[in-house]
Amino acid sequence: MRVEEIVRAFPRLSVLVVGDVCLDHWCTYDPAEAEPSRETGIPRIAVTSTIATPGAAGTVANNLAALGAREVAVMGVVGDDGHGYELMQELGHRRIGTDLVCRSPLISTFTYTKLLNSVTGEEDRPRVDFVNTAPLPSALEQELVELVSAHAPNFDVVIISDQAETSAGGVVTPRVREVLCGVAQANPGKVLWADSRRRLEHFRHITLKPNHDEVHAAFQRAGLASHAQLRQHTQAPALIVTDGGSGAKVTTAAGEWQVPTRTVAQPVDICGAGDSFNAGGALTLAVTGDPLLAAYVGNLVASITIMQKGTGTASPDQVIAAAQEVPPPVC
Range of the domain at 216: 3-21+55-110+133-325
Domain membership flag for residue 235: yes
pTM of the model: 0.95
Direct distance between the N- and C-terminal alpha carbons of the chain, in angstroms, rounded to an integer: 13
Domain membership flag for residue 119: no
Which neighbouring-strand residues pair with 172? none
- What's the CATH number where 212 sits? 3.40.1190.20
Distance CA 320, CA 265 (A): 20
Domain membership flag for residue 126: no
Domain membership flag for residue 118: no
What pLDDT sits at residue 223?
Answer: 98
Distance CA 218, CA 6 (A): 32
What pLDDT sits at residue 168?
Answer: 77
Domain membership flag for residue 271: yes
271: region left, alpha or beta (phi > 0 left; psi from -120 to 50 alpha): beta
Number of folded domains that form the chain: 1
pLDDT along the chain (331 residues), means of 10: 96 98 96 92 95 96 98 97 97 97 96 96 94 93 98 98 86 97 96 96 98 97 97 98 95 97 86 94 98 98 91 94 90 61
Domain membership flag for residue 175: yes
Domain membership flag for residue 50: no
Domain membership flag for residue 84: yes
Distance CA 313, CA 306 (A): 9
